[in-house]
């Protein structure tokens, strides 16, 4: 009897731990790069980049929102290509993707099922100091977090006497928290 109870208890603990590990951290407004939601979002973003590098259409489709995936397919059609050309196209596009390890996390702006993660990198070019912002949207679809739109903005740190901010990029409708 005790042995059956121990087995039953062990099975219950295992089931509970599987359910807990399957739960996603909630999206939150934070500047804490170590926040569990930020870490999860970055992992999904990295999986999306890995899918592009390998031309893995299935992983790409699982990590991107339906709108982002369908937009990619639509772009292929506009170029006169078919959906079967997606894998090689992803491999080519991977060269232009943003490696967040080169950026500093700024903040995560979030609502219940959508979040926007913002990053910054300062640099220099032949004209002086530069600033680059990177942003990506993550949406909850079908109970999973998926990467939506991704964007970058690079330019002089000071433009027309004012320091550049990410505001201009974040004001675009595709980066709205809706």
The tens digit of pLDDT for each residue in 122-136 reads 999 998 999 999 999
Query: According to the CATH classification, is domain 29-175 in 1.10.3470?
Result: no
| Alpha helix stretches (DSSP H) within the chain | 2-22, 36-54, 57-63, 66-78, 86-93, 167-170
What is the tens place of the pLDDT at every residue in 129-169? 999 999 999 999 999 999 999 999 999 999 888 999 999 89
> For the chain, which residues make up each domain, given as ranges?
29-175
Are 139 and 148 in contact by the 8 Å Cβ rule? The answer is: yes
Amino acid 26: pLDDT: 86
Residue with tokens 């700024």: 106
Please provide the size of the chain in residues. Answer: 178
pTM score: 0.81
């Amino acid at each position: 009897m005790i042995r059956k109870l121990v087995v039953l208890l062990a099975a219950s603990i295992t089931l509970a731990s599987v359910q807990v590990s399957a739960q996603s951290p909630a999206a939150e407004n934070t500047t804490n790069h170590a926040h569990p939601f930020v870490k999860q979002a970055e992992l999904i973003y990295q999986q999306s980049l890995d899918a592009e590098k390998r031309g893995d259409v299935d992983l790409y489709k699982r990590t991107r929102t339906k709108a982002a995936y369908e937009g990619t397919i639509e772009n292929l059609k506009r170029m006169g290509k078919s959906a079967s050309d997606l894998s090689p196209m992803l491999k080519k596009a991977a060269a232009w993707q943003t490696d967040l390890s080169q950026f500093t996390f700024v903040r995560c702006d979030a609502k219940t099922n959508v979040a926007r993660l913002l990053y910054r990198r300062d640099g220099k070019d032949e004209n002086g100091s530069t600033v680059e912002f990177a942003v990506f949207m993550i949406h909850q679809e079908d109970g999973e977090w998926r990467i939506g739109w991704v964007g970058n903005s690079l330019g002089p740190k000071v433009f027309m006497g004012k320091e550049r901010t990410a505001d201009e990029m974040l004001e675009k409708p595709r980066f709205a928290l809706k």
